[in-house]
Amino acid sequence: MHSSLRVRLVGAFLVIIIAGAATTYAVVNLVTTSQFRRFVLTEDIYQAQSLSVSLADYFRYQGTWQGVETVLAAGQSTDWMAMPPETSAGATDRWYGRSWEDEAGMGMGMTDMGMMGGRMSEKTLMAMQNWMRTPDHVVVLDQDGRVVADTRGLSAGEDHSQIDPAQGTPVMAADRQVGTVLVGSMIEPTLNPLAEDFLASVNRSVLVMALVGALVALGFGLLIVRQITAPLGKVTTAAEAVAAGDLNQRVAEQGAEELRRLAHAFNHMAATLDQAEQLRRNLIADVSHELRTPIFVMQGNLEAMLDGVFDLNRENVAAVHQETLLLGRLVGDLRDLASAEAGELRLERVSCDVNQLARQVVDRFQVEAGEKGVALTATLATSIPRILADPQRIEQVLFNLVGNALRHTPIGGEVNVQTAVGNVAGDVGVRQNTDHPSMSTGHWVLIAVRDSGEGIAAEDIPYIFERLYRADKSRARSTGGSGLGLTIARQIVEAHGGQVWAESPLGHQPNGQGYGTRISFTIPVSLETVAV
């Protein structure tokens, strides 16, 4: 079972959003944890450095690490500065009460050296106080690496493999290392409970923000999916209606550029199908009409002759014969059109003179033009090159164009056949088929048939070369023709590598009505002729 585009897009957005949120959470969590641990380690190092100064003073005055665990234990209380000396088993009293006279025999008291009442200096005491009020884990090692004090109760005097002295801060006294102090994360990589709680709260906040961001992104994603799939759904519905036979379906051309192009293409397709359907219906109606008319005329004449209504003489037989010629020409036109559209139109190309072909066609129509009271003239270019073409097919094109012009030109009008040559690409009035080798070089011959008839409406010009299309909706063959002449002409010209087009009106009468039509076509010049 195939899923819809909407489901696939939503699924793709969900995968991208979940992957993005998970990646964001993982990266932020990793970076936050790493940076926080680095921060904690930095703070622990700073505390260890501050404490090492106080411990150095302690060792310098005591001469031993004995009793230091009592000082560290007392420091866990916020009231350790007010603690009486006896609570420290005499260690702190001896530390605070010794004088430089006792230490060095110089009779100088600690007060004279900036001490507070013979005790440790105020700076040292404040450093000890500031650190001792923190809950960090502290371990003091002697110079041999044995534990001499631990705020969490490790046995003093023992080696502990999990404690690396290299991670600690040296305690220096008399220019020698007398011990090492380690604080918090310097002892073990785990964080204290407060730090773990803080880090967990940060990670929870990051997770919540990632989820909120994912929900917002999903909302925007659903909106985008709707903007994409809604127009597609409309096009699909319209396409199904067209498939069911409703060719009037159209969709709004809106949305993104690609969707507008899709809607435009669909509307153009629907309009083309509608037009093709109209042409198909007209084709059936026109062909049946064109075939039925001469057949009915022949049938009526023959029945009249069989019944004795018409005499069986040369004149009546000639009338029937004329209808057979008309019927044969119509069938031949249909056959030529079918062959041309199938790409099976045979051309016997030879080098021929365009001016000569034009004169022959003009001469053949002079009698008919005189009977209609129309002036038929030719304006032929001098020194025109020969073309490589099928002369009978070119004559057929000219025959159709001149015959059309005479049918639509009133008495007193004019029909003119013109030839010209071009050798520069982009000449005015010439539409080149640059796929043909000769046309790509700009060498072509132009043939145009101009009349002074009623002209062609602008809305009809794009369709006059369609089969059985008539600008004059009359079905009378005297004015409308078979409706295949221009279509066959276009197929023949394009088979030669040229192009054909129409221009109308060519002017306007005083009442504003347009008049005149010019139908032109180009044929590439023979490459051999160009070389000469």
pLDDT per position as a tens digit, 32-71: 888 888 888 888 888 888 888 888 888 888 888 888 877 7
- Name the more confident of 91 and 390: 390
* Weakest-pLDDT range from 38-47, 58-67, 190-199, 241-250: 190-199
pLDDT category at 107 given cuts 50, 70, 90 is very low
Q: Does pLDDT of 349 surpass 50? A: yes
In this prediction, residue 109 carries a pLDDT of 35
* Cα–Cα distance measured from residue 285 to residue 291, given in angstroms and rounded to the nearest whole number: 10
Q: What is the CATH number of domain 279-340?
A: 1.10.287
* Weakest-pLDDT range from 118-132, 302-316, 369-383: 118-132
* Cα–Cα distance measured from residue 482 to residue 286, given in angstroms and rounded to the nearest whole number: 8
Tokens of 268: 């153009």
Q: Which amino acid is at 125?
A: L
Percent of the chain, pLDDT > 70? 76
Residue that is written with structure tokens 């031993």 in the block: 64
Mean pLDDT value across residues 144-172: 77
First to last CA, the chain: 69
User: What is the separation of C-alpha 401 from the centre of its chain, rounded to a whole number of angstroms?
Assistant: 48
Burial 186-201 (b: 16+ CB within 10 A, else e): bbeeebeeebeeebee
Q: Does pLDDT of 111 surpass 80? A: no
Sign of torsion over alpha carbons 125, 131, 137, 143: negative
Mean pLDDT value across residues 435-464: 77
* Cα–Cα distance measured from residue 357 to residue 239, given in angstroms and rounded to the nearest whole number: 50
List beta partners, residue 415: 376, 451
- Name the more confident of 366 and 257: 366
Q: Reduced to 3 states, what is the DSSP secondary structure of residue 336?
A: helix
78, 88, 95, 92: which is closest to 132 by C-alpha?
78
Residue 90, phi-psi category: left (phi > 0), alpha (psi -120 to 50), beta (remainder): left
> At CA 464, angle to CA 462 and CA 467, rounded to 5?
120
What superfamily would CATH give domain 345-531? Histidine kinase-like ATPase, C-terminal domain (3.30.565.10)
Q: How many residues does the chain have?
A: 532
pLDDT category at 84 given cuts 50, 70, 90 is very low
Contact 45, 70 (CB under 8 A): no
In this prediction, residue 160 carries a pLDDT of 65
In this prediction, residue 418 carries a pLDDT of 95
Q: Where are the domains of the chain?
A: 5-139+184-193, 279-340, 345-531
Mean pLDDT value across residues 337-345: 72
Give the best-scoring range by mean pLDDT among 103-117, 119-133, 389-403, 471-485.
389-403
Percent of the chain, pLDDT > 90? 16
Sign of torsion over alpha carbons 37, 41, 42, 44: positive
Output phi, psi for 178, to 5 deg: -105, -5
Q: Does pLDDT of 238 surpass 70? A: yes
Q: Does pLDDT of 396 surpass 70? A: yes
Q: What is the DSSP string of 456-509?
A: --TTTGGGTTSTT--SS----HHHH--S-HHHHHHHHHHHTT--EEEE---EE-
Q: Which alpha helices (H) appear in 379-481, and where do they start and end? A: 391-407, 437-441, 477-480
Sign of torsion over alpha carbons 288, 293, 298, 301: positive
Give the best-scoring range by mean pLDDT among 32-41, 205-214, 353-362, 422-431.
353-362
In this prediction, residue 431 carries a pLDDT of 45
Helix (H) or strand (E) holding 193: helix 193-243
In this prediction, residue 451 carries a pLDDT of 95
Edge-to-edge strand order for the sheet containing 444-451?
A: 375-379, 414-422, 444-451, 517-524, 500-503
In this prediction, residue 74 carries a pLDDT of 65
What Cα–Cα distance (Å) separates residue 392 from each residue in 358, 365, 475, 492? 12, 16, 28, 11
In this prediction, residue 508 carries a pLDDT of 83
Q: Does pLDDT of 518 surpass 90? A: yes
In this prediction, residue 483 carries a pLDDT of 67
Edge-to-edge strand order for the sheet containing 138-142?
A: 147-150, 138-142, 176-183, 169-173
In this prediction, residue 28 carries a pLDDT of 86
Mean pLDDT (the chain, rounded): 77
Q: Does pLDDT of 472 surpass 80? A: no
In this prediction, residue 428 carries a pLDDT of 36
* Weakest-pLDDT range from 8-22, 358-372, 384-398: 8-22
In this prediction, residue 286 carries a pLDDT of 66
- Name the more confident of 79 and 394: 394
* Weakest-pLDDT range from 127-141, 299-313, 487-501: 127-141
In this prediction, residue 439 carries a pLDDT of 43
Cite the beta strand spans of 199-314 per DSSP E.
none
- Name the more confident of 93 and 422: 422
In this prediction, residue 223 carries a pLDDT of 86
In this prediction, residue 468 carries a pLDDT of 66
List beta partners, residue 350: 389
Q: Does pLDDT of 519 surpass 50? A: yes
- Name the more confident of 440 and 242: 242
